[in-house]
């Protein structure tokens, strides 16, 4: 049966990139550094509705650090989440599915709470965090469950 998973050789390197980018991205984001002023270059913009600038046209000036972090984090996160284990079997698939279900419930519960309780610019930050929260929650849950899976059965034959 087709399982749409990446080969296991991608697991470690994508994990390293994912966790490093998550930490670096979080530090930059919460430190309040304006990412639009870093790595500025001309980029194509199919849709652009500038809020604070007069940056109009198909080619606009933009700091690409935030786009770079977003792209790296999503690609590495997806590959890390859906790479096969060295011994991928049906029990691991079921653990992965349970972790995915759990993370969707938790993630959207948090979004619902935030929607009802957080307003203004703070809600904009919630939406930014929401871009990555599902994949981060899923990975944390899945790795935690995998850890107890690999620890299981060490005491008997």
Reduced to 3 states, what is the DSSP secondary structure of residue 44?
A: strand
Site for other proteins in 115-154 (CB under 8 A): 149-150, 152-153
Site for other proteins in 74-103 (CB under 8 A): 87, 89-92, 94
C-alpha 62/C-alpha 74 separation (Å) is: 20
The size of the interface with other proteins (CB under 8 A), counted in residues, is 12
Q: By CB under 8 A, is residue 2 in contact with other proteins?
A: no
Both tokens of 73, joined, read: 């984090």
Provide, rounded to whole angstroms, the least separation between the CB of residue 103 and other proteins.
20
CA distances to 125, 128, 142 from 30, in Å: 10, 12, 26
What DSSP designation does 92 have? H
Provide, rounded to whole angstroms, the least separation between the CB of residue 120 and other proteins.
47
Provide, rounded to whole angstroms, the least separation between the CB of residue 22 and other proteins.
28
C-alpha 55/C-alpha 51 separation (Å) is: 9
Binding residues (CB under 8 A) for other proteins: these are: 87, 89-92, 94, 149-150, 152-153, 156-157
């Amino acid at each position: 049966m087709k399982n749409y998973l990446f080969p296991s050789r991608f697991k470690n390197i994508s994990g390293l990139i994912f966790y490093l980018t998550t930490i670096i991205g979080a530090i930059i984001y919460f430190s309040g550094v304006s990412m639009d002023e870093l790595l500025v270059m001309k980029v194509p913009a199919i849709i652009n509705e500038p809020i604070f600038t007069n940056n109009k046209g198909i080619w606009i000036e933009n700091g690409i650090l935030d786009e770079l972090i977003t792209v790296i984090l999503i690609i590495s996160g997806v590959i890390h989440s859906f790479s096969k284990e060295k011994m991928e079997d049906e029990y691991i698939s079921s653990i992965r599915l349970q972790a995915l279900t759990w993370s969707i419930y938790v993630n959207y519960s948090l979004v619902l709470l935030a929607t009802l309780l957080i307003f203004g610019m703070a809600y904009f930050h919630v939406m930014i965090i929401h871009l990555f929260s599902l994949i981060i929650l899923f990975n944390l849950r899945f790795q935690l469950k995998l850890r107890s899976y690999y620890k299981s059965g060490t005491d008997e034959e």
